[in-house]
Amino acid sequence: MKSGKLIFVYGTLKRGGSNHLYLRGQTFVGEARTVPGFRLYGLDGFPGMIALAEDRAGVTGEVWSVSPEALTHIDGLEGTAEGMYRRARIPLQAPFADQVVEGYLYARSLTGRPDLGSTWKE
């Protein structure tokens, strides 16, 4: 049994994405969608997800089982120590409902950033 944490990725960490190499050696669990109440915004070539009460669709992505070592690198990539993204529990729809899954919420201003809806395509 792997002891990795379940991590929901929705942007450049997805398969085919420019930062997917950070998930090398980790385990793909499945495609996933958040519950309604989350939305993507466009930053500079990558997306930021926030909680948005009015959202009715949720955000699509992938769940990965990630080792503590890889998670440390990904936290660094996402600038969690600098307050760029914050890793938080993200509620997902079936088959991940009720599972503890974390993902990266954008933690800075989105003023002037475009609403990208539910799905990031690089």
Place of tokens 């503890």: 100
DSSP secondary structure code for residue 114 in this structure: P
Is residue 12 within the footprint of ligand PCA (CB under 6 A)?
A: yes
**In this chain, which stretch among 8-16, 25-33, 51-59, 110-118 interacts with ligand PCA, using CB under 6 A?**
8-16
Cα–Cα distance for residue pair 120/77, rounded to 1 Å: 18
Whole-angstrom distance, CA of residue 97 vs CA of residue 5? 15
Q: How far apart are CA 120 and CA 118, in angstroms?
A: 7
Q: Which residue is nearest to ligand PCA (CB)?
A: 11
**Cβ closest to ligand PCA, residue 19 vs residue 57:** 19
- Choose the catalytic residue: 78, 82, 102, 122: 78
12 or 26: CB nearest ligand PCA? 12
Chain positions contacting ligand PCA, by CB under 6 A: 9-14, 19, 46-47, 78, 104
